[in-house]
Structure 1
Amino acid sequence: MTTPAAEPTEPTEPTGVEPQEPQTELETPESRGEELAPYDAVVLVSFGGPEGPDEVMPFLRRVTAGRGIPDERLADVAEHYHHFGGRSPINDQNRALLKAMREELDRRGISTPLLWGNRNSEPFLTDTLREAHQGGLTNVVAVTTSAYSCYSSCRQYREDLAAALEELAFEDVSLNVHKIRQYWNHPGFAAVNTRLVTEAAREVKERTGVMPRVVCVTHSIPDAMDDTSGPGDEDGNLYSAQHKALTVAIADEASATLGETVTAELAYCSRSGPPSQPWLEPDVNDHLRELHSQGVQHVVVAPIGFVSDHMEVVFDLDTEARETADELGLDMVRVPTVGIDPEFVSGLIDLTVERSAEARGQDVVKPAWPISEPRPSTCRPGCCPNLRAAKPACCGMD
């Protein structure tokens, strides 16, 4: 368990890319490209994280604001961050992703400014949008670091965007903000996860002569949040259904590529909240113990629910799950997250180009795998509701 807030699909340990701030190019409106019209800026919106010990508690208080969680409980969670020097890896990962996205935009000849705003740490989303307006930007498309569909991985981002715009409206700042669709089954995300799992399974098979069991892992959320994930006129459970569908697809594709049956199952990490509240299960540590009891000796753990190796990965998997595997004598290989894989980065830019064409009223072909139905760019009424309090959300029809 990493934080008391469920953040299912956020951004790796330092990626080896020298962190750089993105080039925003706000100085001269004449220099801006119109390749993504009607948008004159792209903003990467992420969860954020502390970058030093003094930032840990303020960060956790922001994350849990309004939930009545005492500082004593937050102090327990803070120890996970202090285990890594009080610094979450997420902001460095965002800098690396921004650099990779900028390079891909430049490679395509797209000069549209690329910005960055966090929900819970600097650079704060509201400040980024304010600076965008001061630079003459008026229409922004948001790329979130969260691929799946539920309240905390989609609507909460939309609520934060709406709150930022509401705050800026009091300053006579007017901006239009849209976002790309949730991309769990865009090939740039799903196919990359499949390739990474297949490569890891191949390595284990060649090294040991045994095909490993694959454990796909994502952030657990309360059962009630999963039950209401998806549009209000559907049955819910979209969050877990998306992960299960990708897990099955990964196993099928890996089996076809390797010429031998690959078995994959879904497990969860980062459960928080009171013990009386049901959350999605099984926990990854419990699942590893179950596999060991079945005689499994080699496992490949794939964090398909995450964009990069932020705290839920480096603590919950690389620390806690690794300790469990070592205790059991399991040979555990942890698969990389999509991070700044060129195919994933290219997919994010494809999604941005797709959204701009859609905004211009053009017919758009939306690639989707697995399951041929892509998520809509504009969320439908009642989608992934806030179960604690009704709040306005932008980028949707409610």
Structure 2
Amino acid sequence: MLYLSFGGPEGPEEVRPFLENVTRGRNVPPERLDEVAEHYHHFGGVSPINRLNREVMVSLTSELAGRGWDLPVYFGNRNWHPLVEDTVERMAADGVRRALVFATSAWGGYSGCRQYHEDIARARAAVGQDRAPDLVKLRQFYDHPLFVAANADAVTNAYAEFDEATRAGARLVFTAHSVPLSAEERPGADGRSSWYSRQVHESARLVAEAVGVADYDVVWQSRSGPPSVPWLEPDICDHLERLHTEKVPAVVVSPVGFVSDHLEVVWDLDNEAAEKAQELGMGYVRASTAGTDPRYVRMIGDLVAEHVEGHQARKLSPLVQAGCATNGTLCVAQGCC
């Protein structure tokens, strides 16, 4: 099995090369890279994403063994070591001929789904089609009941950090990574907008329903690129200012769009948004991400079981979920990416 993720630096000397990998071909100005690099250096030049992924992989190996599957779990990244090309080379050398791929994104859209298909195809091409294992990407999981339950309990725990009076007036705000509107305007199979934001809204609805919150917000964070290019809005910090004008005393922020606490969570939410809330005199608690919950690992086991044992997909929404494509070939019939 291949555990495929985004990647992140694990030391100060790796920050700039990592950012250059991420932004290659996008004409991002050097001064913007310098600005983002400072976010990483704030944490010693280390993103938590690789460490958290390795911790999940240890638990996942045990989960798979507990289900009776002797499946080695390999780790590969899109943007930093261990790079997916090197990992697939190692898999080929180990004699792996066919493997499932779990990508650490719950969503459709380009960067959340299609680009992982491209990663798979690129890695196989680098190794050679005759040597590379067949690779089958597992489906999107934004509405899997275990993913929803993990996020819902995290929200409940976050509310519990407020005293009773503050909790009664606290607003639930879900966040996900913003994308350019040009990406959102690529129609899905039904002619409507991109599946990405629709899936984020659906996941937020399911989590809020599980918590028992009827009124909540979905906002966006971590946008990049020139200001002239429109992205999904509102931004989390702008939204906090609006809630302040509405006399909202406190917020619970759930990063439902992220599966683990990588840098865009710990910087954009735990630093920038938290500081904005403090400046406004607003109570602020950020809920945990699902990737720290044991149910996240069990969910991956369920996704594997759909292939290994033919289990029916567990999902809470009628919206599309794509994946299960072989060797980087996209499920274009689904129209989700």
Note whether the superposition's TM-score is higher than 0.5: yes
The offset of 1:140, in angstroms, is 1.1
What corresponds to 1:217 in structure 2? 175
Kindly provide the amino acid, as one letter, of the partner of residue 74 in structure 2. L
* Residue of 123, 129, 136 corresponding to 2:88: 129
Could you give the per-residue CA deviations for residues 115-160 of structure 1, whole angstroms, max 9, x where no partner exists?
1101111111111111111111110110011001110110011101
- Aligned with 1:339: secondary structure? helix
- Aligned with 2:132: secondary structure? coil
Calculate the TM-score normalised by the size of structure 2.
0.93
Contact 1:216-1:304 within 8 A present in 2 as well: yes
Kindly provide the amino acid, as one letter, of the partner of residue 152 in structure 2. T
Gap change, CA 1:162 and 1:179, over 3 Å in 2: same
What corresponds to 1:237 in structure 2? 194
Measure, in 1, the Cα distance between the counterparts of 2:265 and 2:126.
33
Contact 2:169-2:248 within 8 A present in 1 as well: no
Could you give the per-residue CA deviations for residues 161-196 of structure 1, whole angstroms, max 9, x where no partner exists?
1011111117x5232010110110111212221222
Gap change, CA 1:379 and 1:174, over 3 Å in 2: closer
What corresponds to 1:30 in structure 2? none
Measure, in 1, the Cα distance between the counterparts of 2:153 and 2:187.
28
- Aligned with 1:177: secondary structure? strand
Gap change, CA 1:180 and 1:230, over 3 Å in 2: farther
- Aligned with 2:322: secondary structure? coil
Measure, in 2, the Cα distance between the counterparts of 1:159 and 1:102.
26
Contact 2:108-2:322 within 8 A present in 1 as well: no
The offset of 1:235, in angstroms, is 1.7
The offset of 1:211, in angstroms, is 4.0
The offset of 1:229, in angstroms, is 6.3
- Between 1:136-145 and 1:199-208, the stretch displaced more is 199-208
Gap change, CA 1:229 and 1:318, over 3 Å in 2: farther
Kindly provide the amino acid, as one letter, of the partner of residue 283 in structure 2. D
The offset of 1:374, in angstroms, is 5.0
Contact 1:125-1:164 within 8 A present in 2 as well: yes
Measure, in 1, the Cα distance between the counterparts of 2:240 and 2:166.
19
- Between 1:311-320 and 1:76-85, the stretch displaced more is 76-85
Q: Does 1:204 align with 2:162?
A: yes
Percent identity over the alignment is 42
Gap change, CA 1:247 and 1:209, over 3 Å in 2: closer
Contact 2:88-2:132 within 8 A present in 1 as well: no
- Aligned with 2:172: secondary structure? strand
Could you give the per-residue CA deviations for residues 318-371 of structure 1, whole angstroms, max 9, x where no partner exists?
0000110000011101100012311111001110111334xxxx5x421111x2
The offset of 1:200, in angstroms, is 2.3
Could you give the per-residue CA deviations for residues 68-88 of structure 1, whole angstroms, max 9, x where no partner exists?
224333112111111111111
Contact 2:322-2:331 within 8 A present in 1 as well: no
Q: Does 1:310 align with 2:256?
A: no
* Residue of 261, 276, 287 corresponding to 2:239: 287
What corresponds to 2:313 in structure 1? 366
Contact 1:149-1:230 within 8 A present in 2 as well: no
* Structure 2 portions without partners, runs of 5+: none
The offset of 1:47, in angstroms, is 0.3
* Structure 1 portions without partners, runs of 5+: 1-41, 256-260, 381-391
What corresponds to 1:117 in structure 2? 76
Contact 1:150-1:230 within 8 A present in 2 as well: no
Q: Does 1:153 align with 2:112?
A: yes
The offset of 1:236, in angstroms, is 2.5
**RMSD (Å), alpha carbons:** 2.1
The offset of 1:110, in angstroms, is 1.9
Gap change, CA 1:355 and 1:236, over 3 Å in 2: farther
Measure, in 1, the Cα distance between the counterparts of 2:330 and 2:95.
21
Measure, in 2, the Cα distance between the counterparts of 1:397 and 1:329.
48
* Residue of 79, 93, 103 corresponding to 2:62: 103
Measure, in 2, the Cα distance between the counterparts of 1:63 and 1:246.
27
* Residue of 7, 17, 20 corresponding to 1:61: 20
What corresponds to 1:271 in structure 2? 223
- Aligned with 2:292: secondary structure? coil
Matched residue count: 333
The offset of 1:241, in angstroms, is 1.1
Contact 1:213-1:262 within 8 A present in 2 as well: no
Calculate the TM-score normalised by the size of structure 1.
0.79
Measure, in 2, the Cα distance between the counterparts of 1:329 and 1:221.
30
Measure, in 1, the Cα distance between the counterparts of 2:223 and 2:96.
40
The offset of 1:252, in angstroms, is 2.6
The offset of 1:205, in angstroms, is 5.6
Contact 2:222-2:268 within 8 A present in 1 as well: yes
The offset of 1:94, in angstroms, is 0.8
Measure, in 2, the Cα distance between the counterparts of 1:397 and 1:238.
13
Measure, in 2, the Cα distance between the counterparts of 1:109 and 1:268.
40
Contact 1:149-1:239 within 8 A present in 2 as well: yes
The offset of 1:207, in angstroms, is 6.3
